[in-house]
Amino acid sequence: MDTRVMTRQEVEGGVTAARGFAATGIHCGVKKAKADLALVVSELPASTAALFTVNRVPAAPVLVDRALMARSPYKRALLVNSGNANACTGERGMQDAWAMVRATADALGLDVADVLISSTGVIGQFLPIEKIERGIRAAADALSSEGSADAAEAIRTTDTFAKQYALTCEIDGKTVTVGGMSKGSGMIAPNMATMLAFITTDAAVEPALLQSALVRANERSFHRISVDGDTSTNDMVAVFANGASGARRLTSSDDPGYEEFEEALEHVCVELARMIVRDGEGATKFIEITVAGAASEEEAARGARAVANSNLVKTAIHGEDANWGRILAALGNADIAFDPARVEIRLGEVVILKRNFVIDFSEEEAAAVLALPEISISADLGEGTGEATFWTCDLSARYVEINANYRT
Amino acid sequence: MDTRVMTRQEVEGGVTAARGFAATGIHCGVKKAKADLALVVSELPASTAALFTVNRVPAAPVLVDRALMARSPYKRALLVNSGNANACTGERGMQDAWAMVRATADALGLDVADVLISSTGVIGQFLPIEKIERGIRAAADALSSEGSADAAEAIRTTDTFAKQYALTCEIDGKTVTVGGMSKGSGMIAPNMATMLAFITTDAAVEPALLQSALVRANERSFHRISVDGDTSTNDMVAVFANGASGARRLTSSDDPGYEEFEEALEHVCVELARMIVRDGEGATKFIEITVAGAASEEEAARGARAVANSNLVKTAIHGEDANWGRILAALGNADIAFDPARVEIRLGEVVILKRNFVIDFSEEEAAAVLALPEISISADLGEGTGEATFWTCDLSARYVEINANYRT
């Protein structure tokens, strides 16, 4: 029995579930009427780790955050606006991003190095910076230890629902909470829908160790989802650890409790990532793809990603067809080592391809699996012990409509 | 003035346009009623170069061809069946593929090493090998120096039209002909639509030199088209050079006339490749993407490919929207070096993004370009002199319908 798992428990809330965090979400006027400004504040300086888009066209807030992280890995505040991504906005975009940082620091009595910011929404347009500055002052007055839902609401763009998740776990006998919020649902224009995720925890973790935990968790969660395979100019994942739980400070991966923290962080990231896929544009089916028996975890992940990004697999699932050939061909495109004759592919529990290309499954059983709203595809390559899971959604005519006719 | 270009002239026909080649296309019974077997034969042993799919799940004929090419780079006959890809068919598939080779050699009085074969169609099913063997004998009797159209017809699967192209050029004062046929139109199941192209020429070229000319031509043609980004288990491109023109034998890339031959081969490959894109499933628009000003041709090609494979760009063009943001973000995902502020993007002649993110184009002019059935997108990165062109089509709701509902 895995006792570590037993200590994890889902709880209500998101970024304010952990002790010592307050948040809010308000309307400041970037959008016409909906909430568009989220503020998250930690009572104590929080060790902070962050990952940013690898797109060559990073938005201004990403550039500013990189500079802020270089100044200090301890943060007190996170400000996010939705409705405008402040991307492809040149010099003025940079000035506006710095103005957001300054306004946040001023409103909360902090140093600029204590702040991170993020923007999501349309690109190529300047921010209404005065509205945001006024909004920041209003948000600072509205902070609440129960504000997580409002914050999650305020970072939405094309998301059809707000996304938050939290759990508690035990680190060396103390209860620690990890919670977060995310947004993202594919693309809608003239925006590129950004994937954002912000996690707070009252665990105490050294910044460098927190960064490595985030890299690992991100690799197994946000990096393993895909709606349409594109990454945006503003993608960002950050975690803030303020130590308010009183649990022992984790300084090394050998510390008792570190493994539990690492798994709890991964768990929260996976839940937040899965919510993004569930909200995929035009999606009618949620698809979990597991590749096992690969030469390494990295090869398994590469294979699962290739299947998840295949338009042919995604349309076949949309059409509820047990097309093992498209799955096998997608694996064949993944540049990983395997012998096709040793591959076994399952849809749910139905083995649709046995070794040596033997096909003898019941079409009815496969049809029953394919009719479900959540479908698991698993492939065993028969090469080694590497395993990885990837999440995606089907490709529907509705996706095309949303992305072709967004202006009308 | 580029006098080399002046010597090239489009002519009628395809694989039998060059001297010394005969071909035919017949119905042998793999398909219900349509032509499904093509045979191309050279009077003289032809230097042969071939490229095969890099998919990890190569079909039986690909494995057999690799062995045949290793035995001899001189070929006399090419046999292709459509309707069944002989892919994922294990040992029996290999036996069937070798049986096709033997039957072709026997019917024509050749050695097995003189033959290449290819199959395209559904996967995971065994070939009706007796029908094919009978068909090969019938095809051998039906060969004609005017049979190219029949051959091009017989290699079709989901293609909505047969694809062939030919041209003449001058090598050192002699007229040389290069012609070919291709097939492919995206995917339809349970097939994976294979991309095939076969080129014949009466130029005389050493096999190794022919292979390097084919690698270069393929890189700039078939490797630069995409309908849905997937490659199949059966993809193959081959060129047969039988020397029947009497033109001097090309043995080195420094030989007079080699450059002209190389460009003529590339020209034929580009035309055959563009026909495949025009036939893209559900396509309503043909899109030519040129990336210029890149650090290298390789980086330009990577950028153009990223734009061509972006579902977001393809749906935006389908919806006739001048969405420079999606184009720029796709370039940003290509892992190539550029400064976003220096990028200029054109739709046809309309500059939709100027340097420093300046947007001041006429929406009406852009709309006029986007309403056309053929659309060119060009991006200048402002980094260097690397340039590459890629061809694709838009992504329509019809594509999803074809690929989701192919069984009904």
Residue B226: is its pLDDT beyond 90? no
What mean pLDDT do residues B109-130 have? 94
Beta-carbon separation of A396 and B401 below 8 A: no
Pick among A120, A312, A353, A393 to test the B interface (most B CBs inside 10 A): A312
- B84: tokens are 């069944």
Q: Which residue of B has its CA nearest to A93?
A: B357
Instruction: Verify that A273 and A296 share a domain, yes or no.
Output: no
Omega before residue A340 within 30° of 0, cis: no
What mean pLDDT do residues B179-200 have? 73
* A338 vs B contacts (CB less than 8 Å): 56
What mean pLDDT do residues A187-209 have? 78
ipTM of the complex, rounded to two decimals: 0.72
Residue A408: is its pLDDT beyond 60? no
For residue B304, the model assigns a pLDDT of 94
Instruction: Verify that B249 and B308 share a domain, yes or no.
Output: no
Residue B333: is its pLDDT beyond 80? yes
Nearest by CB to B90, from A337, A356, A401: name it.
A356
Other CB atoms within a 10 A radius of the CB of residue A161 amount to 11
Q: The domain spanning residue A82 has which CATH number? A: 3.60.70.12
Taking the CA of residue B405 and the nearest CA in chain A, the distance in Å comes to 5
* B124 vs A contacts (CB less than 8 Å): 324-325, 357, 359
Beta-carbon separation of A400 and B396 below 8 A: yes
H-state helical runs in B109-147: 129-141
B23 vs A159: which has the higher pLDDT? B23
**Separation between Cα atoms, residue A105 and residue A112, nearest integer Å:** 5
Instruction: Verify that A271 and A337 share a domain, yes or no.
Output: no
Pick among A311, A345, A353, A381 to test the B interface (most B CBs inside 10 A): A311
Residue B280: is its pLDDT beyond 80? no
Nearest by CB to A315, from B231, B325, B403: name it.
B403
Sequence-distant (≥ 6) Cβ neighbours of residue B25 within 8 angstroms: B35, B37, B38, B39, B147, B149, B150, B151, B152, B153, B154, B155
DSSP state of A306: H
**Separation between Cα atoms, residue A100 and residue A115, nearest integer Å:** 10
Q: Which of A250, A278, A306 is the last residue of a domain?
A: A278
Nearest by CB to A330, from B230, B326, B341: name it.
B230
Contact indicator for B377, B350 with CB cutoff of 8 Å: no
Instruction: Verify that B321 and B267 share a domain, yes or no.
Output: no
Which residues, in sequence order, are bridge partners of residue A358? A354
- A78: tokens are 């996170």
* A310 vs B contacts (CB less than 8 Å): 229-230
Instruction: Verify that B70 and B217 share a domain, yes or no.
Output: yes
Sequence-distant (≥ 6) Cβ neighbours of residue A52 within 8 angstroms: A58, A62, A65, A66, A235, A236
Beta-carbon separation of B189 and A321 below 8 A: yes
For residue A406, the model assigns a pLDDT of 55
Taking the CA of residue A329 and the nearest CA in chain B, the distance in Å comes to 7
Identity (one letter) of the amino acid at B179? Answer: G
Residue B54: is its pLDDT beyond 60? yes
Tens digit of each residue's pLDDT (9 = 90 or more) over A361-396: 999 999 999 999 999 999 999 999 999 999 988 888
For residue A83, the model assigns a pLDDT of 93
A158 vs B339: which has the higher pLDDT? B339
Beta-carbon separation of A357 and B90 below 8 A: yes
Residue B2: is its pLDDT beyond 60? no
Question: How many domains, in total, are found in chain B?
Answer: 2
**How many angstroms separate the first and last alpha carbons of chain B?**
56
Instruction: Verify that B195 and B328 share a domain, yes or no.
Output: no
Which candidate, A344, A380, A346, A395, places its Cα nearest to that of A366? A346
Q: Which of A235, A257, A278 is the last residue of a domain?
A: A278
**Separation between Cα atoms, residue A145 and residue A20, nearest integer Å:** 8
A312 vs A348: which has the higher pLDDT? A348
- How many residues are listed for chain A in this entry? 408
**Separation between Cα atoms, residue B147 and residue B394, nearest integer Å:** 34
Taking the CA of residue A354 and the nearest CA in chain B, the distance in Å comes to 11
pLDDT band (50, 70, 90) for residue B4: very low
Q: Which residue of A has its CA nearest to B320?
A: A404
Taking the CA of residue A209 and the nearest CA in chain B, the distance in Å comes to 28
pLDDT band (50, 70, 90) for residue A333: confident
Rg (chain A; Cα; Å)? 22
Tens digit of each residue's pLDDT (9 = 90 or more) over A62-116: 999 999 999 999 999 999 999 999 998 899 999 999 999 999 999 999 999 999 9
CA B305 → CA A241, A331, B330, distances in Å?
A: 41, 20, 9
Identity (one letter) of the amino acid at A405? Answer: N
- How many residues are listed for chain B in this entry? 408
pLDDT band (50, 70, 90) for residue A53: confident
Beta-carbon separation of B403 and A319 below 8 A: yes
Instruction: Verify that A271 and A207 share a domain, yes or no.
Output: yes
Beta-carbon separation of B340 and A57 below 8 A: yes
Nearest by CB to B325, from A190, A319, A337: name it.
A190
Nearest by CB to B338, from A56, A228, A404: name it.
A56
pLDDT band (50, 70, 90) for residue A4: very low
Active site residues per annotation of A: 194
pLDDT band (50, 70, 90) for residue A192: very low
What's the mean pLDDT when you consider all of chain A?
91
Taking the CA of residue B404 and the nearest CA in chain A, the distance in Å comes to 4
Beta-carbon separation of B400 and A403 below 8 A: no
Residue A3: is its pLDDT beyond 90? no
Residue A1: is its pLDDT beyond 50? no
Residue A27: is its pLDDT beyond 80? yes
* A407 vs B contacts (CB less than 8 Å): 319, 321
Q: The domain spanning residue B340 has which CATH number? A: 3.10.20.340
DSSP state of A88: S
pLDDT band (50, 70, 90) for residue A162: very high
Beta-carbon separation of A189 and B325 below 8 A: yes
Tens digit of each residue's pLDDT (9 = 90 or more) over A225-236: 876 555 677 889
Tens digit of each residue's pLDDT (9 = 90 or more) over A111-151: 999 999 999 988 888 999 999 999 999 999 999 999 999 99
Pick among A54, A120, A235, A315 to test the B interface (most B CBs inside 10 A): A315
Q: Whole-prediction pTM value? A: 0.81
Which candidate, B284, B276, B282, B283, places its Cα nearest to that of B120? B276
Residue B407: is its pLDDT beyond 80? no
Q: Which of A249, A278, A307 is the last residue of a domain?
A: A278
* B400 vs A contacts (CB less than 8 Å): 315, 318, 395-397, 399-400
Instruction: Verify that A188 and A56 share a domain, yes or no.
Output: yes
Q: Which domain holds residue A70?
A: 3-278
Least confident among A285-289, B187-191, B293-297: B187-191
Instruction: Verify that A294 and A270 share a domain, yes or no.
Output: no
For residue A2, the model assigns a pLDDT of 47
Instruction: Verify that B131 and B211 share a domain, yes or no.
Output: yes
pLDDT band (50, 70, 90) for residue A186: low
Pick among A57, A86, A191 to test the B interface (most B CBs inside 10 A): A57
What mean pLDDT do residues A44-51 have? 97
* B62 vs A contacts (CB less than 8 Å): none
* B330 vs A contacts (CB less than 8 Å): 230
Instruction: Verify that B85 and B124 share a domain, yes or no.
Output: yes
Q: Tokens 């593929």 identify what position?
A: B97
Instruction: Verify that B196 and B119 share a domain, yes or no.
Output: yes
Q: Which residue of A has its CA nearest to B122?
A: A325
Q: Which residue of B has its CA nearest to A190?
A: B323
Taking the CA of residue A379 and the nearest CA in chain B, the distance in Å comes to 14
For residue B264, the model assigns a pLDDT of 97
Beta-carbon separation of A90 and B357 below 8 A: yes
* A357 vs B contacts (CB less than 8 Å): 88-90, 124
Nearest by CB to A228, from B232, B311, B359: name it.
B311
Residue A191: is its pLDDT beyond 60? no
